[in-house]
Amino acid sequence: MDFVESHNLAEQEESKAFEHLINYCVISREHPENFDFEAVSVGGPGDLALDGIAILVNDHLVNTREEVDFFKRTLRRLDVRFLFIQSKTADKFDMGDIGNFLFGVRAFFSSTLASPNPQIVRRKW
């Protein structure tokens, strides 16, 4: 509840606030600076079983190709890490969910996304 209150998420559905919490916990371990929850959140219908995607280039969280191009031009090197997140409140693992998540990660790197609404995930790139 403290997380919800301190980040003004009280108006969000509980499941969406939970996704934000998990995204925050995972991403802040790799990128300790503040970041916009909406910028990394991709959960929703047609989300390829992905709730959060963070792309770190040279230790900076990026959200657009233009930001990547900036690092490419100015530093001429790219150290890139991708963080893919799926949040579940269930008390057990479901192999189907794990398979869907892995399919989503693979589809993210595919030139054609096999999803009812690939724009939810493609907006990250």
Give the pLDDT of residue 113: 62
Q: What is the pLDDT of residue 79?
A: 94
Higher per-residue confidence, 107 vs 45: 107
Rounded to two decimals, the pTM is 0.83
| Containing structural domain, residue 58 | 2-122
Mean pLDDT of the chain: 85
Percentage of residues in the chain having pLDDT higher than 70 = 87
Give DSSP secondary structure letters for the chain: -HHHHHTT-TTS-HHHHHHHHHHHHHHHHH--S---HHHHB--STT-TT-SEEEEEETTEEE-SHHHHHHHHHHHS---EEEEEE-----SS--HHHHHHHHHHHHHHTSSS--SS-THHHHTT-
Looking at residue 93, its pLDDT comes to: 79
Domain count across the chain:
1
19-35 pLDDT, tens digit per residue, is 999 999 999 999 999 89
